[in-house]
């Protein structure tokens, strides 16, 4: 399976900023709904793990592509600002009392130079385009010495629950999710170094979420970015995962957390 070598993939032909805005307008809060029930062996949850290096900071923390702003719940006492292009996601964040938020593109941030002391990037750098411009914008708004903490999907290793993912991908007719920036996952540290960041830490953990019925299966499949995939394949993937689902069945979500900073000149 996979895409023929003589044609471009949906990831390469999709205008991603518009696709992401429409996707999240139609499904506000979906990423949070999927990840909020995932835990690792320590019983930690993805968002709480992500923000460990951001608590107690005095400077403004920018949440890039903040979505429904789940990190705001984790950072209630910090000076936090969320930016997202999806009006639907931002409306959900405001309704939940999570703010302040701004609507804007990641490659054209509506923020001044050196305005923030830290950036939180949760599950977004693999899909934000053009990535070079996005990282240039982060460098522009971050103060020297400012911190970037990113959470991205990590590659699958052999382990419990992989049969569930295999069923989904097989039904979709793909080998992996068609992200535009697949290297901005386990390869993100290398990309950040190439853009002038100093990488302080890169750690991988596997989180797992129970897929116990057809409703949970449909939520998971609906939460995938699948530009160019026919609706009948998406429905088949939901049905395939629902056939695998049962109480106690847990699907793995390997994630990587990268902590980096901008060097101070001189």
235, part of any domain: no
Assess whether pLDDT exceeds 90 at residue 2. no
Q: What is the arithmetic mean of pLDDT over 155-171?
A: 85
The pTM for the full model equals 0.92
51, part of any domain: yes
Assess whether pLDDT exceeds 70 at residue 266. no
220, part of any domain: no
94, part of any domain: yes
Q: Which of the two residues, 266 and 135, has the higher pLDDT score?
A: 135
Write the CATH number for 104: 3.40.50.150
- Summarize pLDDT for 186-205 with one digit per residue, the tens: 999 999 999 999 999 999 99
Burial of 73 (0-12, 13-18, 19+ CB in 10 A): middle
pLDDT at 210: 96
Assess whether pLDDT exceeds 70 at residue 6. no
Total of domains in the chain: 1
119, part of any domain: yes
| Domain, as residue range, for 55 | 15-156+182-210+253-261
226, part of any domain: no
DSSP string, the chain: ----TTS--HHHHS-HHHHHHHHHHHSTTHHHHHHTT-B-TTS--HHHHHGGGTTT--S-EEEET-TT-HHHHH-TTS-EEEEES-HHHHHHHHHTT---EEE-BTTB-SS-TT-EEEEEEES-TTT-SSHHHHHHHHHHHEEEEEEEEEEEE----S-TTHHHHHHHHHHHT-SS---S-TTTTTTHHHHHHHTTPEEEEEEEEEEEEE--SHHHHHHHHHTS--TT--HHHHHHHHHHHHHH--TT-EEEEEEEEEEEEPPPP-
pLDDT at 176: 87
167, part of any domain: no
- Summarize pLDDT for 89-136 with one digit per residue, the tens: 999 999 999 999 999 999 999 999 999 999 999 999 999 999 999 999
174, part of any domain: no
């Amino acid at each position: 399976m996979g895409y023929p070598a003589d044609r471009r993939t949906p990831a390469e032909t999709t205008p991603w900023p518009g696709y992401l805005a429409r996707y999240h307008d139609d499904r506000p809060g979906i990423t949070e709904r999927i990840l909020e029930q995932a835990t690792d062996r320590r019983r930690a949850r993805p968002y709480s793990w992500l923000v460990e290096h951001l608590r107690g900071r005095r400077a403004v923390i920018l949440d890039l592509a903040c979505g429904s702003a789940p990190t705001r719940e984790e950072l209630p006492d910090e000076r936090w600002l969320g930016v997202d292009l999806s009006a639907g996601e931002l409306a959900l964040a405001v309704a939940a009392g999570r703010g302040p938020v701004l609507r804007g593109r990641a490659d054209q941030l509506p923020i001044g130079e050196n305005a923030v002391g830290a950036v939180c990037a949760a599950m977004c750098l693999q899909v934000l385009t053009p990535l070079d411009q996005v990282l240039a914008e982060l460098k522009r708004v971050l103060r020297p010495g400012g911190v970037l903490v990113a959470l991205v999907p990590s590659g699958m290793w052999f382990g419990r629950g992989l049969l569930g993912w295999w069923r989904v991908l097989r039904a979709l007719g793909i080998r992996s999710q068609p992200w535009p920036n697949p290297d901005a996952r386990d390869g993100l540290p290398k990309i950040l170094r190439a853009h002038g960041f100093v990488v302080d830490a890169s750690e991988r953990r596997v989180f797992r979420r129970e897929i116990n019925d057809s409703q949970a299966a449909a939520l998971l499949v609906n939460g995938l970015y699948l530009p160019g995939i026919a609706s009948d394949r998406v429905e088949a993937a939901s049905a395939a995962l629902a056939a695998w689902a049962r109480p106690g069945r847990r699907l793995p979500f390997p994630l990587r957390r990268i902590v980096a900073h901008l060097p101070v000149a001189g």
